[in-house]
Chain A
């Protein structure tokens, strides 16, 4: 089937989370992605927790299994000249190359942007690194936490009397991968419309400096942003944010007072307008807590949303899989495992009619060596010093 990117070939030299996540998003829309991994050890992400089994083996990582769907795997080391030559041949047949080595590393292997672009001027070459290709920190090492720190994201997260807190999981690295995806698709669009490829430079620090949304502008306008407590209220089985202080129509408040069994609150001057409810938010939360503590969080969410409030409930991963909204939209996909257990995975990041999200199990290490290196390029495994997998 013709898909959004089904005519695009991608060589993914990256490891970890952000570069491979970009390649996964391209693969989901039909791009043909060849993942290049270090021989024998593979992408470092293969040994990242959480593991499906307690015994560590090269396909037990949930993280790796998530971010490498719909790719093919070959094992080559750009530092070995014969391998670098094979990578060059693969790159010459590709529209996009993604890498996240330290800046300058691939140039030392003869695989830098200008080395390849000399013969393929329309190649989109995407470098995804902690701090970008230039500047005083370009050789510095990074991680999810480091990006959230350097980009001024985490300074304002957490409680005032506790240390700054990072967004959980690998949020910064995923967001860096998403930024690389958007930049790559833009560069492909430019290639289609203007006829040339280019070097795309993605810095995780800058992705976070974009994601801090208003700390930088508030600082300049004289009101620095600070860590603060949350407005979450305890429900019977978790947490909700009732969302009664902003964006609520006046008639809604009357209904809420009925709902929580306190009709007398309608005349309470502390809560009579949106402004007063906002000003007396803490008192309001106490009143609501009495009621919320006896109700399941999802019931509160649906009940208050039906009154056109902006209510939230803290969903756990289990709640997400149970969500009727996700079920109805078939957001989660069952990915059948051949050498692995079946998994349930998030599906398309957005939908466009007549295009469907492709998601198949992440490859075994070197699974496609024979097909791509031998049949495709005419190498023998011995010639490359690789054992037959």
Chain B
């Protein structure tokens, strides 16, 4: 079959996005990139936390471009601009009867509903799975919750920073002193966002076969725990409890980050085979090292890693971290510079693969946007649409999707059910 003009992978799918913060919005951001229509629902009294405060104080300014909150701060925070790309914004106060009715009408014309509230919130709003699926039996309802839809902790609250604790990841992340550390980047959130996408794909496929929708029950804590499966299995058989081990690796040595020229610049090196070890010695120009008994195999290198790391650092400290990577890789040694946020957006490799999209957001000007963790040869991602202002698509969606009249919309605005200016 020849494909003349590629169609977006998810063209024709409409997503009702009630999610907030990171995991849910990341999932729906990917859906938007792949061609789905994403309608982001917020209320004027409870915006997505990503939008920051309606009236930010002096301590809140770090999330705005150059610290400037502008006239409508809620439309220009880093998190909102970055995670809510490719979505349309519709404000509805779901705590009102009228707002709830509007949402139930929307459910009828959508394929997927995504939410990541505290476990019981949707039931409390009268919008639980049973209610919404009775409006649209073909609806796929993705419930991303802290702990899953059942169990004694089903209504517990969490953030990415607590999930990496309760899911076990913090217990194996840290320096050799054994003190657990957090990722600072709330690592479970992007992982859940990426997996949620696949969860929806399998549910959509199931709907193709059965003609019926379903509830997808996704526990963020369970997903986090999947990331340390081998340590669970090991404990279940041997009773060993996995602990922090800095940047050391169970099988590979040397394995770590080494200082380079410049302030806080580092190169990562991971030697897994004897060929790679010899390659490292060649790259360092130190062939005696290759025959040094202290480092003759992976076990010895692991046992004597402090001495070895010091020898490697003597070389790296005089190298540019990118140059170090190219030299090491030319000798077959797995390595990479430890890139920071400024460097990763100008990295020539990501540049050549078109990883970043340059997006011109009306509030912030052009910036480089994270895209998708995949490239499909025949289903390219769509042209990005900047993250929407609060309520930017109210009029369009209320008229075109729900068939409301100008008069009815004016009423909703008067009653504070929809609008574009957040309440305090």
Contacts and interface: CB of A to CB of B under 8 A. Distances in A.
Contacts of A275: 57, 59
Interface in B363-405: 364, 367-368, 370-379
Q: Is the interface of A mostly helix, strand, loop or mixed?
A: mixed
Interface stretch (A213-221, A264-272, A365-373): A213-221
Interface string A182-207: 11111111101111101111110111
Contacts of B161: 241, 312
Given A50-B238, A305-B156, A314-B180, A171 B199 contact: no
A358 interface: no
Contacts of B205: 4-5, 185, 188-189, 192
A347 B189 CA distance: 19
B423 to A, nearest CB: 18
Interface residues of A, number: 151
B218 interface: yes
Contact of A312 (B162, B251, B355): B162
A190 B9 contact: yes
Given A213-B189, A223-B67, A320-B232, A165 B246 contact: yes
Nearest to B147: A325
A159 interface: yes
A235 to B, nearest CB: 11
A312 B165 contact: yes
Contacts of B45: none
Contacts of B165: 232, 239-241, 312-315
Interface string B129-160: 00000000000000000011011110011110
B268 A146 contact: yes
9 contacts: A25-B198, A157-B173, A157-B185, A201-B376, A203-B353, A220-B65, A279-B59, A352-B215, A352-B216
B225 A219 contact: no
Interface stretch (A59-67, A103-111, A284-292, A377-385): A59-67
B174 interface: yes
Contacts, number: 498
Interface stretch (B92-100, B288-296, B338-346, B412-420): B338-346
Interface stretch (A32-40, A70-78, A84-92, A133-141): A133-141
A169 B170 contact: no
A62 B206 contact: no
Interface in A300-321: 301, 305, 308-321
Contacts of A178: 191, 194-195, 198
Contacts of B163: 312
Nearest to B8: A190
Interface string B107-130: 000000000000000000000000
B306 interface: no
A32 to B, nearest CB: 16
B217 to A, nearest CB: 4
B194 A137 contact: no
Nearest to A215: B341
B106 interface: no
Contact of B241 (A216, A318, A342): A318
Name the residue among A178, A186, A212, A345 with the largest chain B CB count within 10 angstroms: A186
A219 B329 contact: no
A189 B65 contact: no
Interface in B185-242: 185-187, 189-191, 194-199, 201-206, 208, 214-219, 221-223, 225-238, 240-242
Contact of B185 (A135, A156, A243): A156
A206 B355 contact: yes
A136 B235 contact: no
B62 interface: yes
A295 interface: no
B376 A318 contact: no
A48 interface: yes
Interface string B1-15: 101000101100000
A251 interface: no
Contact of A155 (B65, B182, B338): B338
A283 interface: no
Instruction: List the 5 closest A-B pairs by CB distance, nearest first.
Output: A312-B162, A168-B172, A182-B198, A219-B341, A215-B341
B332 A152 contact: no
A27 interface: no
A310 B339 contact: no
Given A196-B378, A213-B186, A224-B340, A328 B151 contact: yes
Nearest to B259: A163
Contacts of B422: none
Name the residue among A185, A218, A314, A347 with the largest chain B CB count within 10 angstroms: A314
Contacts of A135: 349-350, 352-353
B112 to A, nearest CB: 12
Nearest to A143: B270
A199 B226 CA distance: 27
Nearest to A139: B329
Nearest to A24: B229
A321 B236 contact: yes
A168 to B, nearest CB: 3
Name the residue among A144, A176, A241 with the largest chain B CB count within 10 angstroms: A241
B197 A324 contact: no
B305 interface: no
Contacts of B152: 324-325, 328
Contacts of B221: 325
B41 interface: no
A220 B345 contact: yes
A263 interface: no
Given A62-B237, A156-B184, A169 B231 contact: yes
A116 interface: no
Nearest to B268: A149
